Structure 1
Amino acid sequence: MMPVISLEKVTTAAVVRVEDLTTRERMAALYASDMPNRFRAGSVEATQVAAWIVQGAERLGAEELRRRAVFSYGQRLMEMGARVPVHAQAAHERRFPRAGRLDQAERAAAGSTVWARLSASALARNADAEVEGGCPCGGGGWIAMPPLPEAPDAMTCPVHGREATRRHAAGQAVSA
């Protein structure tokens, strides 16, 4: 007698290709993987880094991986502009509580782009960023500044400013 196989229990796992992940998705995957907290650059083979990336991506799932990557890049852009909202900083620290591990994951993810170039789809998403809990610009591209003598009343948002600049150059309305 042949065993009965229930198709309800059969699932297919999506194959994770490192090339199809953005740099920030790779970083989030590495952080979630079994990657050691410290290792010297060049002391680990690319195949091992790739295995950690795949492991972390599978562990998080596509949706959570993407969410962490987009918020992480938004956080980085806001840090560079010295405009990180308190709520976004707190969320970032909850998501990535070990700064040293995050730094290691960022460096390994950046290095992975040498031997695993970003695919066209990953490259198209690579600059996607959001600020968790809402951006100070409200998505308009401009952050209001406190009034100071000889200072502008707004600055370009590090996360949404590119889109505002593009709209301005095209002669479209830009909200401040």
Structure 2
Amino acid sequence: MSPVKPLRADARRNRDQLVAVARAVFDELGTAAPLDEVARRAGIGNATLYRHFPTRDDLLIAVYAEEVAGLSDLGEALLGGSADPLDALFEWLEAFVGHVAAKGDLARTLEPGARRSELHEQWHAAMFEVVVRLVDKCRAAGSIQPDLDPIDLLVLVSGTATAEPVRVRRLLRLIRRGVSVG
């Protein structure tokens, strides 16, 4: 197998532009939005879109993968920051809930099959890794229940994503009280 060549600067800009515009179009029109609309709004030809993303799934994956990477990056920043560990955990959880509420259908739209299952596992593993590290930091600070299972926390806060947006912060405060020490 030959190594993948890095994209030229102009090709990278086009790809990044397509992903950014696709995110906005999918947010506005849903994941079934015409890909021609993505290309048109990006100011890039259809041939270029399909050269970068031969299928709708390829574009959906690129958009969703960026979202997951953004959450991972936020987790890293919070882990390296000086904020109270419990504040950092719940800042990340709030971003996670927003992601699940706004982008959950993006991942569910992918064609069923082995590729989707593998990607979902990778994305869940990335989120799990972040929450485990944030919970561990809280444990080390003595600010969280010692028996808290990070996966239970993710499942619990994922459920808040189905609530009305005005309730999400209130529900996160209730969860915080339940998992905090003291």
TM-score range relative to shorter protein: 0.3 to 0.5
TM-score where L is the length of structure 1: 0.34
Q: Which is richer in helix?
A: 2
Q: Which has the larger radius of gyration?
A: 1
TM-score where L is the length of structure 2: 0.33
Higher relative contact order (Cα pairs below 8 Å, separated by 6+ residues):
1
